[in-house]
Amino acid sequence: MATAGKVIKCKAAVAWEAGKPLSIEEVEVSPPQAMEVRVKILFTSLCRTDVFFWEAKGQTPVFPRIFGHEAGGIVESVGEGVTDVAPGDHVLPVFTGECKECRHCKSAESNMCDLLRINTDRGVMIGDGKSRFSIDGKPIYHFVGTSTFSEYTVMHVGCVAKINPEAPLDKVCVLSCGISTGLGASINVAKPPKGSSVAIFGLGAVGLAAAEGARIAGASRIIGVDLNANRFEEARKFGCTEFVNPKDHSKPVQEVLAEMTNGGVDRSVECTGNVNAMIQAFECVHDGWGVAVLVGVPHKDAEFKTHPMNFLNERTLKGTFFGNFKPRTDLPNVVELYMKKELEVEKFITHSVPFSEINKAFDLMAKGEGIRCIIRMEH
């Protein structure tokens, strides 16, 4: 490629300050260094995690920064030592990586790579502690190693999954975070037995994917819990059979769920990021066998409080990043599920905007409208 080894000037949506609309700027993107790849982003979408760190209310502020982690693109060039991907490969970036060499990567049970696990406070590349983005020589920071709100971005090779080039990137880009996370939280972590009951807290993209996962696993009652009643109608398409809006009840939602299910649900998956919902999701599972899985990203000072007796009574609490999928090993197979029509992603995509209107995607999420909004890069 003519651009390999050179700085690329392109457009990126820069967040200069917490909570202020992104502004489209011309940035300089340095060539990839050792074990890095530079990727031309074609489609990206907005996940709640971007919004949490952009608002920076309960998270460490790191600015100016380029957000974005749910995306699809094509490798433009690779740095020294990269053998797994080559220019032209179709890839999905992932906010948590897989080095394939550490104890976690070698364990069948973990995806918490020692080298590349999610680090939301780091704004630089791990190789040399520097940013690959700049404007007039001043660094613009990275976000979770992906920064996909840019026409070109640089990532560690361990944070990109090479996928089937036939897969339409405008659809499968949503598998690079939210949908795989929710699906995996149910299938890989909660593992609801056939005929079981599952409560899903939070019916955004992640929660709806968790509901879909529970249905695929064979759960027969899938109870959606959300404060936004507008979510309920949509959620039926994702397998939800019943709904609870905590606002409609004077007693705690865990009691409401226990009454509905003769003592508690068999499994619950929390996809809100709200610590009270996390506690409710744990306390609503049945004693003896219930398993609760936390997926939402909490406020940095949040504390989870529950009576220890809830554990003694044989309830299990788990948490997961990226639904326990190993990004490079497993994500290509999730894409194949879509290609074989065993997993539908279209129904998660409710809106689409050109890159120049990226702030509209933030407005939609703030209003709780739609599920995922695809942002089309305009190369």
Residues that bind ligand NAD (CB under 6 A): 47-49, 52, 177-178, 181, 201-207, 225-228, 231, 246, 271-274, 276-277, 295-297, 320-322, 368
Nearest-5° Cα angle at 175, 174 to 176: 90
CB of 106 vs Zn ion, minimal distance in Å: 8
Query: Which listed option, Zn ion, ligand NAD, none, makes contact with residue 205 (CB within 5 to 8 Å by class)?
Result: ligand NAD
Q: Give the separation between CA 311 and CA 104, rounded to whole angstroms.
A: 27
Nearer to ligand NAD, 71 or 203 (CB): 203
Q: Which residues partner with 74 through β-bridges? A: 40, 90
Nearer to Zn ion, 100 or 360 (CB): 100
Sheet holding 267-270: strands in order across? 242-244, 221-225, 197-201, 267-270, 291-294, 316-319
Q: What residue spans of the chain are helical by DSSP H?
A: 48-55, 103-106, 169-172, 178-184, 205-217, 231-235, 253-260, 275-283, 309-312, 327-339, 358-367
CB of 175 vs ligand NAD, minimal distance in Å: 12
CB of 248 vs ligand NAD, minimal distance in Å: 12
Query: Which listed option, ligand NAD, Zn ion, none, makes contact with residue 24 (CB within 5 to 8 Å by class)?
Result: none
CB of 232 vs ligand NAD, minimal distance in Å: 10
Cα 184 to its chain centre, rounded Å, is 11
Query: Which listed option, ligand NAD, Zn ion, none, makes contact with residue 274 (CB within 5 to 8 Å by class)?
Result: ligand NAD
88: exposed, middle or buried (C-beta count within 10 Å: 0-12, 13-18, 19+)?
Answer: exposed
Q: List the structure tokens of 237.
A: 């398409």
Query: Which listed option, Zn ion, ligand NAD, none, makes contact with residue 197 (CB within 5 to 8 Å by class)?
Result: none
Query: Which listed option, Zn ion, ligand NAD, none, makes contact with residue 52 (CB within 5 to 8 Å by class)?
Result: ligand NAD
Query: Which listed option, ligand NAD, Zn ion, none, makes contact with residue 272 (CB within 5 to 8 Å by class)?
Result: ligand NAD
- Of all residues in the shown chain, the one whose CB is closest to ligand NAD is 204
- The interface with Zn ion within residues 94-133 (CB under 5 A) comprises 99, 102, 105, 113
CB of 159 vs Zn ion, minimal distance in Å: 11
Q: Give the separation between CA 21 and CA 13, rounded to whole angstroms.
A: 9
- In this structure, the strands spanning 36-45 and 197-201 are unpaired
Backbone angles phi, psi at 247, to 5 degrees: -65, -20
**Residues found near Zn ion in the complex (CB under 5 A):** 99, 102, 105, 113
